[in-house]
Amino acid sequence: MNLHHLKYFLTIVEEGSLSAASKKLLVGQPALSTQLKSFEAWLGVDLFKRVGKRLHITAYGEFVLKYAREIKNLEEELLVNLQHADDMGKKELVLGAQESVPKTIIADTISKIKKIRPIRLKVFEGTGEELFTSLTQGRIDFFVGNFKPLNQGKEMYYHLLAKEKVSVWASKKFQSLKKGFPQSMDGKPFILPGLQNPIRHDFEKVMMQQGIGFEVSIEAQDTALQKELAARGEGLLLMGEDSVQGWVSSGSLIKIGDLPEIHEQYWLGIVKRTIDNDYIKSIMQSF
């Protein structure tokens, strides 16, 4: 058995036929069929049952498939982990930071990682969905976000980095809304994160429970942009106090009122690998 046998077998399963797998692999169908027969002969079992021109995976095939996928994952892990050391042996890790996470949270996380391990760190920002996909595929080592995504078949480890009480902030244009808060927010424009952000769901739930209507004036993921727009008077802002401290100190934003039912949580997450990377493991244990 070799890795080609596993690769061909997995592709046939994924594509559903020899002809489709042949086109994807750029391997002639007769050669692919020969390789499959060779693999079955080596294992001593039939992986597929042939019904006409179609292939149906057997119970043995399903059993082998689990191992084939694990071996493929191990191969991917090996290649990813090899990329973390250059010719001088210096370690490198990749941090994926959700664009809606305040830069202070990301910077604090980077500083702590650097204190734990003297490594070179690459940082990529993107949406939560983009980064989590990169994490599960091994393209990044850590995920910093404001939600704990479903594991999608991967075992996940999380550490809570920070928890903030959420308040409503705005420019002085909306100062009168302090009186009669939270009912004063009824019908007012808001600058809100996307629907995938937990704060958005929690806010809508609280507003519905209290019978308060609101207008989604602007939807934006980047927190720096949200604060800039709020400071220009474009709408009300939902955010934790630490995240707006500089804007409040400069007088650009003022607090309209607190929302004690809502909290923003920020998480550091990794995917459990078959063979753990010692650097990643030690960093997570130190948080």
Residue 89 has pLDDT above 60, yes or no: no
For 194-210, what is the mean pLDDT?
Answer: 90
For 96-109, what is the mean pLDDT?
Answer: 87
233: left (phi over 0), alpha (psi -120 to 50) or beta: left
**Helix or strand (DSSP H, E) at 156:** strand 156-170
- DSSP label at 173? G
Measured in degrees and rounded to the nearest 5, phi and psi for residue 236 equal -90, 150
Residue 40 has pLDDT above 60, yes or no: yes
For the chain, domains (ranges, CATH) are: 3-76 (1.10.10.10), 92-162+267-286 (3.40.190.10), 163-264 (3.40.190.10)
Q: Say which range, 6-15, 33-42, 119-128, 248-257, has the weakest mean pLDDT.
A: 119-128
Task: Give the pairing type, strands 54-57 and 214-219.
Answer: unpaired
For 40-59, what is the mean pLDDT?
Answer: 86
Residue 252's pLDDT is what? 96
SS3 of 255, please? strand
Percent of the chain with pLDDT over 70: 91
For 15-43, what is the mean pLDDT?
Answer: 88
Residue 88's pLDDT is what? 42
Residue 261 has pLDDT above 80, yes or no: yes
Contact (CB, 8 A) for 200 and 192:
yes
The better pLDDT of the pair 120, 107 is held by 107
Question: 123 vs 7, 131, 225, 237, 267, CA distance in Å?
Answer: 32, 11, 20, 27, 16
Q: pLDDT class for 269, splitting at 50, 70, 90? A: confident
- DSSP label at 44? T
How far is CA 21 from its chain centroid?
30
Q: Say which range, 93-102, 157-166, 275-284, has the weakest mean pLDDT.
A: 275-284
Q: What is the pLDDT of residues 6-18, one digit of tens each?
A: 888 988 988 888 8
Beta strands (DSSP E) in 220-276 are 236-240, 254-271
Residue 235 has pLDDT above 80, yes or no: yes
189: left (phi over 0), alpha (psi -120 to 50) or beta: beta
Beta bridge partners of 98: 126
Residue 287's pLDDT is what? 77
Angstrom distance (rounded) from CA 69 to CA 74: 9
- Half-sphere exposure at residue 99, Cβ-oriented, CA atoms within 13 angstroms: 15
Residue 4's pLDDT is what? 83
CB atoms within 10 A of CB 154: 16
Residue 166's pLDDT is what? 94
Rg over alpha carbons for the chain, rounded to the nearest Å, is: 26
Residue 181's pLDDT is what? 96
Q: How far apart are the first and last CA of the chain?
A: 43
Q: pLDDT class for 87, splitting at 50, 70, 90? A: very low
The better pLDDT of the pair 86, 148 is held by 148
For all residues of the chain together, what is the average pLDDT?
Answer: 85
SS3 of 55, please? strand
For 173-185, what is the mean pLDDT?
Answer: 96
Q: Of 168, 164, 116, which is closest to residue 284 (Cα–Cα)? A: 116
